[in-house]
Homo-oligomer: A and B are copies of this chain.
Amino acid sequence: MDTVSVPSLKDLTIDNITENVHAINSQCSDQRLKFLLERTVSHLHDLARETRLTTDEWMATLLFLTRVGQISSDVRQEFILLSDVLGLSLLVDSIDHPKPENSTEGTVLGPFHTHEAEHSHNGGSISQDADGEPLLVVCTVKDVDGNPISGVKVDVWETDSKGFYDVQHADRNGPDGRAVLTSDSAGNFWFKAILPVPYPIPHDGPVGGLLKKLNRHPYRPSHMHFMFDKSGYDPLITALYLKNDPYESTDAVFGVKQSLIVEVGKVDDKDQAEKYGVKTGTSLITYDFVLVTDEAARKLRRSKAEEAMNSQGRKVRFIDDLPVPDVD
């Protein structure tokens, strides 16, 4: 520790503690972490000063956060849920995955993605729930110039017909309502599923308690999650929402975007029904996803980061593509 550069940390007051915490944290050699900590400490301290936070409120908050951590497990992530209901998750996705106008918008990942879904061939069924309304999903994935992208790994996940993800069932035997597909040479991918239903986010824990205190409902409108991954393209985390869902404009986690709302159609063509191995009259969702290249996303991220840093009156430099203040 280079004690020379550290001020004497004595007699700290409401007015001088922030700069002194910054000073001792500035010993950190990781410039990005140092920047994140500096902003975190400033905002935390300003929050306490502005609200005149009391010791009781401080303690209640720490105990709330402790419960959020303690209810989390391998199959439940209450901190993601907390981030979701405060709008932070959508914000971070928007910052990290900026989209040019002609590409598919992203939305919240949510706490229910897993890394254990089975790989499925196109046309396979991702749901074993016999009570769900059968659904055919037929999509394409292209670049911003309209060229099909083959070999894209597509993660899809949805709840069962009761509104629960597989991981929410204590007695689950393995993955259900989820699969990993691959787009074919024409950029197509298709699968059988069940029609999504609205559902409440888990609200038996501390986050549910918070929503209740805020007089907010815990419901998400009917949707199906998609995540796209292919080398050379910026990962796309998104979802499709069903039109006219009762929670379409009051999503508890702020995920709905007009461009991601789809109208559910029907398979009314006998040839189509035969091609996909479904009955005519089966519900149908179609969508054309558009991915952005890594390079385009990177440029957009950098220019927006420069803008944000400049508006804080800071010069910026980039370390591993992440912005830090340029103090030289």
Q: Which residues of A contact B (CB under 8 A)?
A: 1, 3, 6, 8-14, 17-18, 20-21, 24-25, 27-30, 33-37, 39-41, 43-55, 57-58, 62-63, 65-70, 72, 77, 79-80, 83, 86-97, 109, 213-217, 248-251, 254, 256-258, 301, 304-305, 308-309, 312, 322-323
Q: Which residue of B lies closest to A80 (CB)?
A: B62
Q: Which of B49, B55, B62 contacts A77 (CB 8 A)?
A: B62
Q: Which residues of chain B are within 8 angstroms of A3 by Cβ–Cβ distance?
A: 250
Q: Which residues of chain B are within 8 angstroms of A305 by Cβ–Cβ distance?
A: 52
Question: Given the complex of chains A and B, what is the CA–CA distance between A28 and B7 in angstroms?
Answer: 43
Of the listed residues A37, A48, A93, the one surrounded by the most CB atoms of chain B closer than 10 A to its CB is A48
Chain A, interface SS category: helix
Q: Which residue of B lies closest to A63 (CB)?
A: B79
Give 12 new A-B contacts, CB below 8 A, not counting A6-B250, A63-B79, A65-B69: A9-B251, A9-B254, A10-B251, A11-B257, A14-B95, A20-B87, A21-B86, A30-B213, A36-B51, A50-B308, A55-B97, A62-B80
User: Contact: B54 with A322, CB < 8 Å?
Assistant: yes
Q: Which residue of B lies closest to A304 (CB)?
A: B52
- Shortest C-beta distance, A240 to chain B (Å), equals 14
User: Contact: B92 with A258, CB < 8 Å?
Assistant: no
11 contacts between A and B (CB under 8 A): A6-B250, A10-B251, A17-B94, A39-B51, A40-B86, A41-B86, A43-B47, A48-B95, A52-B305, A69-B70, A70-B70
**Total identical chains:** 2
User: Contact: A92 with B53, CB < 8 Å?
Assistant: yes
- Shortest C-beta distance, A224 to chain B (Å), equals 17
Of the listed residues A18, A27, A48, A92, the one surrounded by the most CB atoms of chain B closer than 10 A to its CB is A92
Q: Which residue of B lies closest to A41 (CB)?
A: B86
User: Contact: A29 with B258, CB < 8 Å?
Assistant: no
Q: Which of B52, B63, B97 contacts A323 (CB 8 A)?
A: B52
Q: Which residues of chain B are within 8 angstroms of A53 by Cβ–Cβ distance?
A: 36, 92, 95-96
- Shortest C-beta distance, A126 to chain B (Å), equals 24
User: Contact: B83 with A62, CB < 8 Å?
Assistant: yes
